[in-house]
Structure 1
Amino acid sequence: MWDLLKAVVLGTLQGLTEFLPISSSAHLRIFPEWFGWGDPGAAFTAVVQIGTELAVLIYFRKDIWNIGSTWVKAIFKPELRGTHEARMGWFIIFGSLPIVVLGIALKDIIESEFRNLWIVAAMLVVMGVVLGIADRVGRNERRTEQIQMKDAMLMGLAQAMALVPGVSRSGATISMGRFLGLEREAATRFAFLLAIPAVVGAGLFTLPDIPNGDNTYGWGPTLVATVVSFVVATPPSRGCCATSRRAPTRRS
């Protein structure tokens, strides 16, 4: 029962921090240590983030449908290949490659050395400074429709830095977008969309480690924390999917 109560607390923490560029994974690493609960584990952290990513899927469901359906149609209809939606599909695919490759290659280090509290704390400070500088020097010259493949790859490389707890996934991606001259809304929107394959993929990839890996919690608390994180992070229905509205700012 005590583990379930802790899972509710950690799920709430994940839901509250996911939409801020402050690294929810860092908070899931630091907060339990304050109370002597120990490290919940890399697999627990990755799986719980699926809950908040489901909330992102709900928020952007129209965008995701438009991009996905147009990308599939463009495979068979050449006239659609130059559309913004079809190109965004490719941008998300190629932008996701860095974190996938590095995540698999560095899996053991991510689950051990990278979870050192000194590294986590240092990365929180560094990313706060980087995000502040990026927003100050960002030129606000380009909108979402002007994103190019090189932008997607560079933002994908920035996202891969979030394999280190303390580096906010959205914070790193948004910072790179701002350095590239994207407007705040454009950088934030693409960061959200780019994170979907990475977060969901990481959660599914680490599912087998929940009962077998070096994790504090088993299936029950992990599922409870995931559901709680989804409920806490789910936006009001009136705010969902309005592509013309400003997206919330967020991590990973």
Structure 2
Amino acid sequence: MPKSKSKRVAGGNNKGGVGKSGWVANVAAALADEGCKVLVVDVDPQANLSRRMGRPYRKEKPLVTTAEVIKSGEPGVAADAIVPCGWGGIYAQRIDIIPSRFDLENRISEAAVIGARGRLARALQGADDGYDFTLFDCQPSLGHLTQVALAAARYAVALVEPEYDGVEGAVRFRDFVADEVNRTEMGNPELTFAAAVPSMVDGRLAAHAHHVQSLPSIFGADKVWDSIPARSVVKDAADEGLPLAELGSRSAEMREVYKAAAQRMIKEFA
């Protein structure tokens, strides 16, 4: 399969509620702030990322979504589903999205079909060559839809909520990606587990500090990136479907956090 000119990164965890969608949305914005052109692909039927980025499903004005893209799987067909994100300013110019909706769940029943896991990778052939980064928001599982995203990605990043279940879910995600048999069966032997990113970290909690300190021994010190702290402004932006920049000065700290994350991605995934 031809290599994409875009650097494709999948964010995942086998557990939900760990900050995956928030990380993808905010890193996309930070990459755009750095001058990058970004394509975001929502591969979760909950479609939280699509709503947060201004592209919720609307019955009266439906968009082509990942459900149709994956159902087709024809080379390059993803180009028909790409739309600008719903944010304003430079984000409207630099961030595009393939949105999701609830009926993406229907693709799970096709898991046993030969070649099903490679449909998104085929659909993206040539469609994302004009982007610096393609970011995938995975479903919180290791099932078919996550495998479809991983089959299309080059790098996998685990978002790690510093709770027991969040760490365990990230380990399962890491181990799945690291397994050579899994990568081969997905048709993507070059897929690399790139990073574990502590997310939603509450510095007031001793348990969070304990789990964050344990991550280098679990994932390797070189794989553990800087923590994403838990801040109400991130939730406020997500609830309102706005980029952090729209929330003014109170978002300054978190914009710097995501700026550092974006700069590391640009460096690491050169």
User: TM-score range with shorter-chain normalisation?
Assistant: under 0.3
TM-score normalised by the chain length of structure 2: 0.26
For CA contacts below 8 A with separation 6 or more, give which structure has more relative contact order: 1
| Structure with more of its chain in strand, by fraction | 2
| Structure with more of its chain in helix, by fraction | 1
